[in-house]
Amino acid sequence: MANNGLKLSFFFLFIISYEYWVNHVNIVDTNSADLVKDVFILAGQSNMAGRGGVIDGYWDGVIPPEIRTRPGKILRLGGDLSWEDAAEPLHSDIDANKTCGVGPGMAFANAILRGDPRRFAVVGLVPCAIGGSGIEEWSRGGRLYDGLMRRAGVAVEGGGGKIRAVLWFQGERDTVNRSDAESYKEKLQRLFMDLRADLNSPLLPVIQVALASGEGAYVEMVREAQHGIELPNVITVDAKGLELQPDGLHLSTRAQLRVGEMLAHAILQSNCSL
């Protein structure tokens, strides 16, 4: 009788251990070609690359719970073109000449997984943003454009991923000179059209962030251009009024979380075909 009781105890221990293993142990091979990812490209300049928590060139290292790492669920294409579990700072080896902190990417990924876990199983983030870059530097054939295309190609090779959208946050640099601000709309529309053509996705969703700040006097002119984009499946979320760092240019960690959530809301509520 005692022996039967011991066997029953071991049986229940096995069940409990198995349940824990299934729910807590990460068994995903993040480099497996069989792992199909919902891929989102993160492009633009410093506020996309992430300066949340960066003051006087140093990142405070604070990572709020809303942007926690989720092993096997949120992946990042690193600078070496291999997939790994994503964690802030997402752009540390991409925007490598600057100090990177918190950006909108992890908040975005966590929010879409919370918002629609059946629709999005594994999120693959492809960081491409470079601090201080102007819209002209992102034109087709340029270094930044070609770098984005190369990384996007790796992200989907072998059927391992599908690009669902481009997340774009840029324009602060183009607020300095009036000529740049005046030509911004035309150049931005051309960029979006070129990306769609070269990624073989004519209606690829583009979610852009309207500026919260700028480096020069023409912030409102660039913002007007951003809000005036006349292309289908381009959605604009507005960062104006969100908290800035002491430098008056970059978004705070709290504001970056909000931008990520707004980007996610735009995707979740969109009628765009993903």
118 CB burial (10 A radius; 0-12, 13-18, 19+): exposed
The least confident of 44-48, 56-60, 123-127, 267-271 is 267-271
Angle of the 105-115 helix axis to the 253-269 helix axis, nearest 10: 40
Pick the CATH number of 34-269 from 3.40.50.1110, 3.40.50.300, 3.10.350.10, 3.30.1490.190: 3.40.50.1110
Catalytic residues, by residue number, are 46, 247, 250
Structure-block tokens of residue 267: 């995707």
Confidence grade of residue 36 (pLDDT, cut at 50, 70, 90): confident
Say how many residues make up the chain: 274
pLDDT for 35 equals 63
Q: Where are the domains of the chain?
A: 34-269
Pairing of strands 206-210, 234-238: parallel
- What tens digit of pLDDT does each residue of 207-246 get? 999 999 999 999 999 999 999 999 999 999 999 999 999 9
| pLDDT, average across residues 62-89 | 96
* Selected residue with higher pLDDT from 192 and 17: 192
Strand partners, 127: 42
| pLDDT, average across residues 25-40 | 58
Chain-centre distance of CA 166, in angstroms?
A: 8
- What tens digit of pLDDT does each residue of 132-191 get? 999 999 999 999 999 999 999 999 998 789 999 999 999 999 999 999 999 999 999 999
